[in-house]
Amino acid sequence: MSYKAEYIWIDGTEPTALLRSKTRILADGAEPPVWGFDGSSTNQAEGHSSDRVLRPVFVCPDPIRGGDNVLVLCEVEEINGDSHVSNTRALLRPIAEKYAAQESWFGIEQEYTFFKGSRPLGFPEGGFPAPQGHYYCGVGAEAVFGREIVELHLDRCLAAGLKISGINAEVMPGQWEFQVGPAGPLEVSDHLWVARYLLYRTAEEFGVEATLDAKPARGDWNGAGAHTNFSTKAMREGYDAIITACEALGEGDKPMEHVTQYGADIESRLTGHHETAPWNKYTYGVSDRGASVRIPWQVEVEKKGYIEDRRPNANVDPYVVTRLLVNTCCAALEKAGQV
């Protein structure tokens, strides 16, 4: 007996990395081993020395193939065992371990847009749909486009055992969101990457493209983000730690350090309009979706909880955003004795 293992990895394409995958047939009962690939075809090597290594880090059931088949998320390494320069997961690992005692939790809201040909799903040929307003969490064929893909994707994420926690239609036609979390930095990132893989594969079956572009339709339409909800044990227990985290994100060079790594084409989305703060201005506030960081109203009422960083693009690398938030906020909380 044998089973199929779909090896998945993140390539070296810039400015936004792509997912790659290939299949290996393994004997029943065998664990997915270290494997390899041609890095010269994925922007991860030169042709004269092209071998790169796939090291499995997360395995889950394959809900597309079913049976005993699995999905295998991998880190990319050099042949000497060093992490490849494109391996952002390797940069997150030591930061997550350093501040593990603070028990960081994340919930990431992944927005995305369906395209059919050159236009977002629901945009008529040769024109535009009605202005945005009734599409968000909409119901009915005039407001919702692609629900059958979204529902199948949700079922597949659940079958894979991913920590997906919800879905909803977004503000623009053909735009949707799924949420992953709460989970720690490595787990939420691994699950989000696999959920993205399942999204692309599911949309592929319908002849539809799922894109994470930050501003998929120019003009008076919302962009696509990956709002990142973050808390530590201290933040979940007290409001002072909430404020410390918000202040830390605005100190010195931190705003630019974060926003420049929050996804490609971020200036087109963070304009100060369409529920965003300007990309070059840091603010935080209670219940303010026009701020860089929002403190939910119930958090202020209960004096404990979490914050929402509204700046990350839909195309952000979750390993990067979780590393930056843990490193900035946990260091500040540790310094303040709020751990």
The CA-CA-CA angle for residues 124, 129, 131, to 5°, reads: 165
Residue 188: pLDDT band (50, 70, 90) is very high
Is the confidence at residue 128, as pLDDT, over 90?
no
3-class secondary-structure state, position 13: coil
- How confident is the model over 309-320, as pLDDT tens digits? 999 999 999 999
State the helix-helix crossing angle for 185-205 and 88-98, rounded to 10 degrees. 150
Is the confidence at residue 274, as pLDDT, over 80?
no
The pTM for the full model equals 0.96
3-class secondary-structure state, position 95: helix
Q: What is the Cα gyration radius of the chain?
A: 20
C-alpha distances out from residue 239 to 107, 284, 338, Å? 19, 14, 10
Dihedral sign, Cα of residue 269, residue 271, residue 273, residue 277: positive
Is the confidence at residue 285, as pLDDT, over 80?
yes
- How confident is the model over 225-262, as pLDDT tens digits? 999 999 999 999 999 999 999 999 999 999 999 999 99
3-class secondary-structure state, position 301: helix
Local structure of residue 327 (DSSP, 8 states): I
pLDDT of residue 208: 97
The residue-averaged pLDDT of 148-153 equals 98
- 39-48, 149-158, 297-306, range with the lowest pLDDT: 39-48
- How confident is the model over 41-92, as pLDDT tens digits? 999 999 788 999 999 999 999 999 999 999 999 999 999 999 999 999 999 9
Say what percent of the chain tops pLDDT 90: 90
pLDDT of residue 52: 97
> Which ranges of 206-289 would DSSP assign to H, the alpha helix?
239-249, 254-259, 266-269
The CA-CA-CA angle for residues 130, 131, 137, to 5°, reads: 95
